[in-house]
Amino acid sequence: MPAPRVRRRARERALQFLFGLEFTGAPWHEALDGFWRMRPSRPSVKRYAQRLIRGVCEGRDALDAEVAGALERWSPGRVGRVERNILRVALYEMRHQEDVPVNVAINEAIEIAKVYGADEAPRFVNGVLDRLKTSGQNADGPETAAEGLGD
Tens digit of pLDDT for each residue in 91-133?
999 999 999 999 999 999 999 999 999 999 999 999 999 999 9
For the cut 90, the answer to whether the pLDDT of residue 66 exceeds it is: yes
129-141 average pLDDT score: 71
Residue 130 placed within a domain: yes
Strands (E), the chain: 137-138, 141-142
Residues spanned by the domain of 16: 4-136
Distance between first and last Cα of the chain: 19
What's the total number of domains in the chain?
Answer: 1
pTM: 0.86
Cα-flanking dihedrals φ and ψ of residue 138, to 5°? Answer: -140, -170
Residue 15 placed within a domain: yes
Q: What is the CATH number of the domain that holds 11?
A: 1.10.940.10
For the cut 80, the answer to whether the pLDDT of residue 16 exceeds it is: yes
Residue 145 placed within a domain: no
Give whole-number Cα distances, 75 to 32, 88, 97, 117, 140, in Å: 30, 16, 27, 18, 31
Residue 74 placed within a domain: yes
**Mean per-residue pLDDT of the chain:** 88
Residue 87 placed within a domain: yes
